[in-house]
Amino acid sequence: MNRVIFNQKGGVGKSTITCNLAAISASTGKKTLVIDLDTQGNSTHYLLGKKASELNSTLADFYAATLSVSLFPKDFSEFIYATEFPNLYVMPSHPNMDNLHAKLESRYKIYKLKEAIDNMPDFDNVFIDTPPALNFYTQSALIAANNCLIPFDCDVFSKQALYSLLETIDEVRADHNPELAIEGIIVNQFQRRAKLPTQLVAELVDDQLPVLQTKLSASVKVKESHSACQPMIQFAPSHKITEEFITLYDELGPH
């Protein structure tokens, strides 16, 4: 299963959700890959820690290779690194991806990620983290994925942007990837005792949007796990937020 975690708004928890769902997948024995398409590299640093600054090949190198012809091209697997956690791997981001964006777009390399993933059959689950923008890398992820998860951070502006985002997904489905399905909207940073978050979620449900039942609470423990470079299932396996991530993973169905 290839899942993309997508929202054009920043700060909604894409990297946190990506890495924690992937870590839970790996903890169940599934060989799991995180592809970090966000040039900020938050997922890369979350899963690799200090090792992230010592990598020889990243997604920037993968995409640069698509712009030239080589007699001995690197295999996609050469851009993948094992984390310290069993069954969990990452294809790391790099800031140089920003410099490649225009060339990749003009040369229409938008299917290269899908082709690479399709030719890499040994992973059970792939989770793709995306930048907070609708750009070449985001579109590549939407084309490569089967399912799309949309983080929602209980903000009025997020609600307004959500409908435009859903139209974007529909357009990608119509033009490039008819198999792309919206698996659900993940309510993140949810404060159950606050009026506004409850009201906003109720409005989404009333509009018959695919809001997932499991809601992720706001927790400083998640930020601590970022600092420790350990997903919650490793950092605090019995914590409430960890249990919520596990429940969310189970709600997503077949893996």
Domain definitions of the chain by residue range: 2-251
| AA letter at 251 | E
- C-alpha 203/C-alpha 223 separation (Å) is 29
Question: Any residues with CB less than 8 A from the CB of 102 and at least 6 apart, and which?
Answer: none
Which runs of consecutive H residues, i.e. helices, occur in the chain? 14-27, 42-48, 59-66, 97-106, 112-118, 136-144, 156-175, 195-206, 220-228, 232-235, 240-251
Q: pLDDT digits over 62-120, tens only?
A: 999 999 876 556 777 889 999 999 999 999 999 999 999 999 999 999 999 999 999 88
Instruction: Provide the CA 252 distance to its chain's centre, in angstroms.
Output: 14
Amino acid, res. 178: P
Regions of the chain where pLDDT drops below 70: 70-73, 254-255
Alpha helices in 13-106 (DSSP H): 14-27, 42-48, 59-66, 97-106
Task: Decide: residue 224, CB within 10 A, 0-12 exposed, 13-18 middle, 19+ buried.
Answer: middle
Phi-psi region of 128 (alpha: psi -120 to 50; beta: other; left: phi over 0): beta
Give the residue from 55, 56, 42, 46 showing the smallest Cα distance to 12.
Answer: 42
CATH topology of domain 2-251: Rossmann fold (3.40.50)
**Alpha-carbon torsion (228, 233, 234, 239), positive or negative:** positive
